[in-house]
Structure 1
Amino acid sequence: MKIGFNEGCNRFCENHSVLEDLALCEKYGFDYIDVQSECLDRDLAAGKYTLEELGEFFRTHKLKMLSYNALVGFNMKQTQAEKDAVMAQLDEIIRRCRILDCRMVVVVPSMDLTVHATLDDIRADAVAVLREMVKKAEPYGIKLSLEFCGCPTMTINRFEDAYAIVEEVDHPLMGVTLDQYHFHAMASGWDALEKADGKKIFIWHLNGMENMPCGAAYNTDEKRLWPGEPGDCLDHKRYADTLKKIGFAGGVCTIEVFRPDYYKLSNEENIRKATQVTRAHVETYC
């Protein structure tokens, strides 16, 4: 099992830089990195480097880019202008991915809807939009990975709903991102995961979390922990065993932890710690 780093872990560390992350991930032994779109946009706007410079790093180093993370708010748009804007954003992300030699884009649902959409409404809309998006990505062999988010106001917030959408899209380039925190935070069903086709799970996000009530407004990403830290309530063995049993074929375990205390570390301290806990997890459970 390869190991990956998601920039959610250190995106607000002092003097954060995507280019520095690449060098540090290579230094400490990560195989892959999920580049966070907000970090990339911030650095490009500041003129820290060009996309071409990042692409050159990936072409000349062992570290590879696992995913572009993410296109946020892809579904349930109410006007044609809003729908067109999503597709234009995807076009730009595909352009960037080709420069960065990236073959996967994470797509995140919309939240805080003002319309009272049913689950059926949301599912039908997501399937239609994702089918259109896959058509754009297919010529370049770029996968789309739907990340359900365990927040009460998110339109797709449970594994079983995301998986049903992916099944209906029914395309080899369409899969699911399984984030352990999100799975637990809105009480996704283990029965649904245990019956899933592991080949449809493209990304596995590793994290721990405090033992918070499912669906509580204060149960936010900030409650994530390094896996195995004191207070971590997640059953890491069950996640790993289940993914092995259903044939998870992603081949990478990627750490993604958003915690304010960890942002107080330097970029290097953060990535060094992330490497240690991810490697220990893989050695123990995978």
Structure 2
Amino acid sequence: MKIGFNEGCNRFCENHSVLEDLALCEKYGFDYIDVQSECLDRELAAGKYTLEQLGDFFRSHRLKMLSYNALIFFNMKQTQAEKDAVMAQLDEIIRRCQILDCKMIVVVPSMDLPVKATVEEIRADAVAVLKELVKKVEPHGIKLSLEFCGAPTMSINRFEYAYDIVKAVDSPLVGVTLDQFHFNAMASGWDALEKADGKKIFVWHLNGTENMPCGAAYNTDEVRLWPGESGDCLDHRRFAETLKKIGFEGDVCTVEVFRPDYYQLSSEENIKKAAEVTRAHMEQYWGS
């Protein structure tokens, strides 16, 4: 199992730089990186580097880009202008992915919907939109990984909802991002994961979390922990054994932790620690 780093771990560290992250991830043994669009947008605007410089790094180094994270708030748009904006956002991401040699885009659902949509209405809309997105990415061989987000205000907030949508789209280019924190935060069903086709899970986000009540307003990304840290309540063995059993073929486990305390570290300290805990986790629960 290869290991990956998501820039959620260090995006607010002092003087953050995606280009520096690439060098540090390679230095500390990561195989892949998820580049966060939030970091990329602000740092390109500040002139810290160019997309071409990042692309040159990937073409000349061992480290590769696992995913562009992310096309956000893609579904349940109420006007044609909003729908067109999603497509325009995707066009720009595809352009960037071509420069960065990236073949995966994480897709994040909308939150705080202005309508009282049912699960069935949200599913139908998401399926329709994803089918349109596939038409755009297919010529470039880019996959879409739908990330359910475990918060009450998110439109797709449980694994089973996301998996049903992916099954209905029925495309080899569309799968699920399984984030352990999100799975726990809105009590996604282990029965649903255990019956899933592991080939439809494209991205596995590793993290720990404090033991907060399901759906609590304060059960946010800020309570994430390095996996196995004191206070972590997740059943890591069950996640790993279930993914093995259902045939997960992603071949990468990517650490993603958004904890304010960790942003007080330097980027190098943060990435070094992330590599240590991810590698140790894989050795303990995956075997390599």
Q: Give the TM-score category using the shorter length.
A: over 0.9
**Counterpart of 1:177?**
177
Report whether the alignment pairs 1:278 with 2:278.
yes
Distance 2:127 2:257 in 1: 29
Match of 1:235 in 2: 235
Q: For structure 2, which runs of at least 5 residues remain unmatched after alignment?
A: none
Q: Which amino acid aligns with 1:88?
A: A
Matched, 1:267 2:252: no
Return the letter of the residue paired with 2:188. S
Mapped partners of 2:271, 2:145: distance in 1: 24
Counterpart position of 2:201: 201
Letter in 2 for 1:2: K
Amino acid of the structure 2 residue aligned with 1:53: Q
| Corresponding residue number in structure 2 for 1:127 | 127
Q: Which secondary structure does the structure 2 equivalent of 1:144 belong to?
A: strand
- Partner AA of 2:227 in structure 1: P
Determine the structure 2 residue equivalent to 1:2.
2
1:50 aligns with 2:50: yes
Write out aligned runs for 1:1-286 (5 A).
1-286=1-286
Identity, in percent, stands at 84
Q: Secondary structure at the match of 2:216?
A: coil
Deviation at 1:243, TM superposition (A): 0.2
Alignment gaps of 5+ in structure 1: none
| Alignment: residue pair count | 286
Superposition TM-score, scaled by structure 2 size:
0.99
Q: Deviations over 1:169-220 (max 9, x none)?
A: 0000000000000000000000000000000000000000000000000000
Q: For the residues of structure 1 that align with 2:72 and 2:89, how far apart are their CA atoms?
A: 10
What SS does the aligned partner of 2:272 have?
Answer: helix
Code of the residue aligned with 1:125 in structure 2: it is D
Distance 1:137 1:113 in 2: 26
> Aligned-residue CA RMSD in angstroms?
0.3
Q: For residues 47 and 14 of structure 2, what CA distance do their matches in structure 1 show?
A: 17
- Offset at residue 250 of structure 1 (A): 0.2
Q: CA offset at residue 114 of structure 1?
A: 1.4
Please tell me the residue identity of whatever aligns with 1:16.
Answer: H
Query: What TM-score do the two structures reach when normalised by structure 1?
Result: 1.00
